[in-house]
């Protein structure tokens, strides 16, 4: 690509980000707010992106303003969720996916979410370091995120952070999380293709069924295929999928040895296959629409919940009336509803 070519060809966030890849980027001070921060993110400026994600972590009051500036520039990145127990090889696989994406000329961001930590950079810092071969590549952005202050937790923080990375011009956003209960479901709900990673000895297929993982996986990855038991794990999973309900997409089971870069090509093909299925069936558009509608619903409910709770806590008289049986819970609830609606 000739220098600056993408700048002239297209004004979109993605083209701009690509055009800036080779050019020195301005580094705005950390205190940047509002419009300048929006511009920084749209230009793919790394410090602006990092700052915006910190704001999501903290549930900063400026988030609505940031969202208003970025939203029109989102919806372009393809998103991949990576989930599984600690140690199965998620970060190593993420590093491999980054490599393949970069070989194909695509820009990529990795967001490592740690739902168990109140601070980012703790448990997942090691994972970031493991991917340091990509650290100097301007087409790669790697970041850990906790959900310390965000109202609504991961379910609301993850899509917001993904949109920031999308608006910054990344073609691909890989979201990695530790596979614990709700977090897995939240990440699956926030991404287009969900990879569930297991490794030999991790447990048999029944555990997958018990954990409810079957429903969220678009692709199963049996990593550490260099270890004994990998073939059996693949067989077990395939058999379980055959025994399960008829699905419009049957998750392929791919064996990988991420440290040896084996099977990564097949994994990439499986991801592309799922993407093609989503696109041709119209499911990509439907699920993205559904995802946005559900996010808005959750967001509205969270803020109403906070208002109702605050209203009840502030109104000692109402609580007193309730306790002394002067008004009943139905009446008290409708008083609160009226107040929230009129607020």
The only residue of 48, 79, 83, 92 in contact with ligand GDP, by rule CB under 6 A? 92
Which residue matches tokens 């520039």? Answer: 73
The alpha-carbon radius of gyration of the chain (Å, integer) is 22
The only residue of 4, 5, 86, 105 in contact with ligand GDP, by rule CB under 6 A? 86
Residue 146 beta carbon to ligand GDP: minimum distance, rounded to whole angstroms: 16
Q: Work out whether 186 is an interface residue with ligand GDP (CB under 6 A).
A: no
Q: How large is the angle between the packed helices 63-70 and 153-167, nearest 10 degrees?
A: 40
201-240: contacts with ligand GDP (CB under 6 A): 223-224, 226-227
Q: Work out whether 5 is an interface residue with ligand GDP (CB under 6 A).
A: no
The only residue of 143, 156, 257, 264 in contact with ligand GDP, by rule CB under 6 A? 257
**Closer CB to ligand GDP, 214 or 258, in the complex:** 258
Segment lying near ligand GDP (by CB under 6 A), choices 48-56, 80-88, 184-192, 321-329: 80-88
The DSSP call for residue 73 is G
**Closer CB to ligand GDP, 14 or 224, in the complex:** 224
**Closer CB to ligand GDP, 89 or 251, in the complex:** 89
Q: Work out whether 259 is an interface residue with ligand GDP (CB under 6 A).
A: yes
- HSE of 296, CA atoms in CB hemisphere, 13 A: 6
Tell me the site size for ligand GDP, rule CB under 6 A.
Answer: 16
What mask, x for binding ligand GDP by CB under 6 A, covers residues 108 to 147?
A: -------------------x--------------------
Q: Are 92 and 130 in contact (CB under 8 A)?
A: yes
**How many Cβ atoms sit within 10 Å of the Cβ of residue 29?**
8
Q: Are 101 and 108 in contact (CB under 8 A)?
A: yes
**Closer CB to ligand GDP, 29 or 126, in the complex:** 126
Q: Between the CA of residue 305 and those of 39, 44, 118, 174, 340, what are the distances in Å?
A: 33, 36, 23, 32, 9
**Close Cβ partners of 290 (under 8 Å, ≥ 6 residues apart):** none
Residue 4 beta carbon to ligand GDP: minimum distance, rounded to whole angstroms: 38
Q: Between the CA of residue 343 and those of 215, 330, 334, 339, what are the distances in Å?
A: 40, 20, 14, 6
Parallel, antiparallel, or unpaired: how do β-strands 253-255 and 219-222 relate?
parallel
**Closer CB to ligand GDP, 170 or 257, in the complex:** 257
Binding stretches for ligand GDP (CB under 6 A):
84, 86-92, 127, 223-224, 226-227, 257-259
């Amino acid at each position: 690509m000739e220098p600056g070519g993408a700048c002239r060809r297209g004004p979109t966030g993605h083209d701009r980000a690509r055009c800036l890849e080779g050019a020195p980027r301005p580094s705005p001070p950390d205190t940047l707010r509002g419009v300048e921060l929006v511009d920084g993110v749209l230009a793919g400026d790394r410090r602006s992106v990092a700052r915006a994600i910190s704001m999501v972590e903290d549930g900063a009051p400026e988030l609505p303003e940031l969202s208003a500036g970025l939203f029109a520039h989102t919806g372009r990145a393809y998103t991949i969720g990576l989930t599984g127990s600690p140690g199965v090889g998620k970060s190593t696989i993420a590093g491999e996916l980054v490599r393949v994406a970069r070989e194909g000329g695509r820009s990529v961001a990795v967001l490592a979410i740690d739902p168990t930590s109140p601070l980012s950079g703790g448990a997942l810092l090691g994972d970031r370091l493991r991917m340091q071969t990509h650290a100097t590549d301007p087409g790669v952005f790697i970041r850990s995120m906790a959900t310390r202050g965000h109202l609504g937790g991961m379910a609301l923080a993850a899509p917001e952070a993904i949109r920031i990375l999308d608006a910054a011009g990344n073609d691909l956003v890989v979201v990695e999380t530790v596979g614990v209960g709700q977090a897995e479901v939240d990440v699956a709900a926030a991404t287009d293709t969900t990879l569930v990673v297991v490794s030999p000895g991790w447990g048999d297929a029944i555990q997958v069924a018990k954990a409810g993982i079957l429903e969220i996986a678009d692709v199963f990855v049996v990593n550490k295929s260099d270890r004994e038991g990998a073939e059996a794990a693949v067989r077990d999973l395939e058999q379980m999928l055959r025994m399960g309900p008829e699905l419009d997409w049957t998750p392929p089971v791919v064996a990988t040895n991420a440290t040896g870069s084996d099977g990564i090509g097949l994994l990439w093909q499986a991801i592309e296959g799922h993407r093609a299925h989503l696109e041709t069936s119209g499911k990509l558009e439907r699920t993205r629409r559904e995802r946005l509608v559900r996010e808005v619903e959750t967001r509205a409910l969270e803020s109403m919940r906070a208002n109702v709770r605050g209203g009840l806590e502030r109104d000692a008289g109402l609580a007193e009336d309730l306790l002394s049986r002067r008004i009943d819970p139905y009446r008290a609830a409708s008083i609160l509803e009226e107040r929230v609606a009129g607020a």
